[in-house]
Structure 1
Amino acid sequence: MVETLYFPKMMGVLAASVTAGPMEKNSAFASYFDEFLHEENNKKFSYEDLHQVLFDKSRHRALEKAELQANEIAYAVGGDLINQMTPTTFSAAGHGIPMYPLFSACATSVQASIQAAIFGQLTQSPILMTTGSFHAAVERQFRYPIEYGSQKPDTAQWTVTAGVSAIWGRVEKGPYLSHATIGKVMDANQSNPYDMGSAMAPAAIDTIERHLKGMNAELSDYDAIITGDLGKYGLEIVKTLLSDQEGVIRDAGALFYGKETFCNAGGSGAGCSAAVYFTHVLDNMQKEKWKRVLLVATGALLSPLTFQQGKTIPSIAHAMEWRVKP
C-alpha cells in the first residue's frame, strides 16, 4: 500500500502573508509577520469577527504580493478551530473563490497545503490556502473564557492569534512540496485539554515513522523536521521515542514565543505552525540554508462536546516535505 504521496508537478508558494495579534509581537518570528492587530478586544466586533478579519487581511496581502486578483485563483482551501469553521466560511463568502473547507484542528495548514498541491496537479491556476487561530475565541470554546482568569499548568499552551494565507502554484525551482504523508487518527487515551502535547505526540511519531519509511530516509537526511504544535513536553516525547540525538526535530509551538514565560509550554492553534512554516521555514529554504525539510503539523481532534462528555482526545498529524531543486 502506497502511503507517501509524490507530486510530479512541482508546487511551491508564490506568496504568503501573516496577520497576527498584539501578543504575537513577542514571537521569535515577529519580524516575518506583515501586520499586527492593535488589540484582541473590540467593542464593535466579537472575537469570532476578529478571527475572520485575520483571514481577510492575510488573504488581501498575499494576493498583493503575488500580484494576483481573487478571480485568478482556481480554488481556496482551509479551515480553523471555531464552530463549523465559521471564520473561514464567512471570510470565503467575501472573496468569491470556489471553496474547499477542511478540518484537522492545528494540523489544518499541512492538510490544506497537501490538498492545494493535489488540486495543483490538475490545474495551472494558483490555489489559495488559508488557516489561523484567534486566542480569545479558541480559549473560550475549548477551555475557559479568558475573562474567567483560570490558572494553567506548565503543560498548557498559549493559543496563537494569527491568520495565514499562502498562494500555491506551479514552480520550476524550489522550494517546492515534493512528498506528503496523510496522518492516521491516533488515541493515546489522554483527556487533559491542558496537555495537548502528550495527546498529539503519538500521532506525530506515527506519521514521521511512516514518512521516513516511505522515503527510505532517516532523520539525519533532513536539515530540519519541524512539528507543530507539540509544545515543550510533547516535543520531548517525540525526540526521545524517535531517538533524535542530533536535534533534527524541533517544534513550532515550543519555538514560537522564544523564552517568554507567559505561554507555559509554548504556542498552539492552527495559526501557530502555519505562521512559522510560511515565513521562517520558507525564508530559510529560499535562501538555501535548508534544502530538505519535513513539516509535521499535529491536531487534537476534540470538541467542546466530547470534552464535556469526558472523552479522550484523538489526534492526527500530516506531513509535507519541502525541497530545493538541486
Structure 2
Amino acid sequence: MAIKKFGSQTVKFQNPPSIVSTYTIVGPKEGEGPLKKYFDMILEDDMWGQESFEKSEAKIQEEAIKAALTNGNLTNNDIDYLLSGDLLNQIISSTYTARSLSIPYYGLYGACSTMTESLSLGAMLIDGGFADKVVCATSSHFSSAERQFRFPLEYGSQRNFGAQWTVTGSGATVLSSQGDGPYITYATTGKIIDMGIKDATNMGAAMAPAAVDTLITHFKDTGYSPSNYDLIISGDLGKVGKSIVLDLMKKEGYDLSSMYTDCGVEIFDGDAQDTHAGGSGCGCSAVVLNGYIYKEMMKGNFRRILIMATGALHSTIINQQGESIPGIAHAVAIDVSKG
C-alpha cells in the first residue's frame, strides 16, 4: 500500500528530509542581476579557464557540488547518491561531473525541471529508507545551450521578445535524514502537458500549461490553498509564462497575485540586462532556490514555499520535424518545520 501517497500525484513525506547545505555558482551576467548578493560564487569569465563552454559547464556543476559538501562538513564518501542532470545531449555536464566525484549516480533529464525532479526523487530515497544523504544538482550555460538548441553564437541571430536567456550557473542541494531544516514536506510529480506550441523561442507559453496542471493538482491533493504558502515560485517561465499562469489559475478560481513569481523573472533585470522575457535553463531554478530562497528561509523571512521547476521536453531535431513541445512541471514544498 502506498501509504505516503496523497491524492493522485503527491507524496507526503513521513520523515521529511532536511536541506543541510547548498551552494551556487553563476556567470557574470547573473552576477549583475537583482539576486547577486545571494550567490556564493560569481564568475568573472564564463569559460572559467576551460577549452569549451561544455567543459566550463561541467566544471561549474562539479565545483558547486564540492562546495555544497564542504559547507555541510561532508565528503564524497558520506553521500549515498548523486542525482543530477542538465540540458546537453547525454547530460554530459552531469555525467562528467559524476565521473570526477565517484559518487553512486542517477542521471536525470527533466530539462529545466531537473532541480525539483532531483529533489523529489532524493527526498523519496531518504524517506523510503534507501539513503541517508543525497546530493541533488543541475546546471546550464548560456553558450552551450544556445548552440545546441538554437544557433551558434557566431551566427548572431536576432532574438524575439518572447525568448529567454539561458542562465549560466549551477546549484547543489545536500539532503539528509537528519538535520534542522528547512525540510522537504511534499512532492507533486507532474504529467506531460502539450497544448500544441511549436515555437521553440517561446518556452514560457509551452511550459505554462504544465505548471498550471501541477499547481491545481498539488492544491487538490494536499488540501492546501495558495495562502498556505509565503512564496509560490515557478522555475523558468519568464514574463510570458508567468502571465499565462496567473491568467489560467484565476480562471480556475485561484488568485496567486500576492505570492507567486518566477525564477526567470527574478534573476535578471530584463530591461537593464536585455534578457527579453527573462531567464531559463536548468540553472535558473537551481541558483534561485539554493541562493535566494534557501538563504531567506534560513533568515526566517519565508516559512513555507512551493517551488515548481518547469521543463520543455523537446529536441531541435523533433521540433524541426514539426512536432510540438511537451511540457512538465514538478513541485516541491519546503517548510522550516516538519509540518
TM-score by length of 1: 0.96
Compute the displacement of 1:124 (Å). Answer: 5.3
Alignment: residue pair count: 326
Tell me how large the CA RMSD over aligned residues is: 1.5
> Where do 5+ consecutive residues of structure 1 fail to align?
none
Compute the displacement of 1:44 (Å). Answer: 5.0
Compute the displacement of 1:184 (Å). Answer: 0.3
1:127 aligns with 2:134: yes
SS at match of 2:195: coil
Distance, in Å, in 2 between the alignment partners of 1:104 and 1:124 is 22
Contact 1:10 1:172 in 2 (8 A): no
The AA in structure 2 aligned to 1:297 is A
> Where do 5+ consecutive residues of structure 2 fail to align?
1-6
1:48 aligns with 2:65: no
Task: After superposition, give the CA deviation of every residue in 1:227-251 in whole Å (9 maximum; x if it has no partner).
Answer: 0110001101101111236422110
Task: After superposition, give the CA deviation of every residue in 1:66-105 in whole Å (9 maximum; x if it has no partner).
Answer: 1111011111001000001011001100111000111110
Of the three residues 52, 55, 61, the one matched with 2:67 is 61
1:298 aligns with 2:310: yes
Distance 1:41 1:218, change over 3 A: same
Distance, in Å, in 2 between the alignment partners of 1:222 and 1:214 is 15
Task: After superposition, give the CA deviation of every residue in 1:154-190 in whole Å (9 maximum; x if it has no partner).
Answer: 1100000001111111245431100010000011100
1:316 aligns with 2:328: yes
Q: Which residue of 1 aligns with 2:241?
A: 234
Distance 1:66 1:240, change over 3 A: same
1:286 aligns with 2:298: yes
Contact 2:190 2:214 in 1 (8 A): yes
Contact 1:293 1:323 in 2 (8 A): yes
Contact 1:82 1:141 in 2 (8 A): yes
Q: Which moved more, 1:300-309 or 1:188-197?
A: 300-309
Q: Which residue of 1 aligns with 2:284?
A: 272
Distance, in Å, in 2 between the alignment partners of 1:172 and 1:75 is 18
Of the three residues 188, 193, 209, the one matched with 2:195 is 188
Of the three residues 232, 235, 258, the one matched with 2:269 is 258
Following superposition of structure 1 onto structure 2, how do residues 1-326 of structure 1 map, counting pairs within 5 Å? 2-41=8-47, 44-121=50-127, 122-123=129-130, 125-243=132-250, 244=255, 246-259=257-270, 260-325=272-337
TM-score by length of 2: 0.92
Task: After superposition, give the CA deviation of every residue in 1:285-312 in whole Å (9 maximum; x if it has no partner).
Answer: 2222221111111000011211221211
Distance, in Å, in 1 between the alignment partners of 2:203 and 2:256 is 24
Distance, in Å, in 1 between the alignment partners of 2:11 and 2:48 is 44
Distance, in Å, in 2 between the alignment partners of 1:313 and 1:10 is 34
The AA in structure 1 aligned to 2:316 is P
Distance 1:44 1:129, change over 3 A: closer
Q: Which moved more, 1:187-196 or 1:283-292?
A: 283-292
Contact 2:305 2:334 in 1 (8 A): yes
Contact 1:10 1:171 in 2 (8 A): no
Contact 2:39 2:292 in 1 (8 A): no
The AA in structure 1 aligned to 2:190 is G
Contact 1:131 1:271 in 2 (8 A): yes
Identity %: 36
Distance, in Å, in 1 between the alignment partners of 2:296 and 2:154 is 39
Distance 1:153 1:95, change over 3 A: same
Compute the displacement of 1:318 (Å). Answer: 0.2
Distance, in Å, in 2 between the alignment partners of 1:17 and 1:261 is 24
Distance, in Å, in 2 between the alignment partners of 1:131 and 1:205 is 23
Compute the displacement of 1:284 (Å). Answer: 1.9
Distance, in Å, in 2 between the alignment partners of 1:206 and 1:295 is 14
Distance, in Å, in 1 between the alignment partners of 2:262 and 2:48 is 32
Q: Which residue of 1 aligns with 2:3?
A: none
Distance, in Å, in 1 between the alignment partners of 2:12 and 2:316 is 36
Distance 1:94 1:41, change over 3 A: closer
Distance 1:222 1:86, change over 3 A: same
Distance 1:60 1:44, change over 3 A: closer
The AA in structure 1 aligned to 2:268 is Y
Task: After superposition, give the CA deviation of every residue in 1:130-160 in whole Å (9 maximum; x if it has no partner).
Answer: 1010110001101111221111111100000
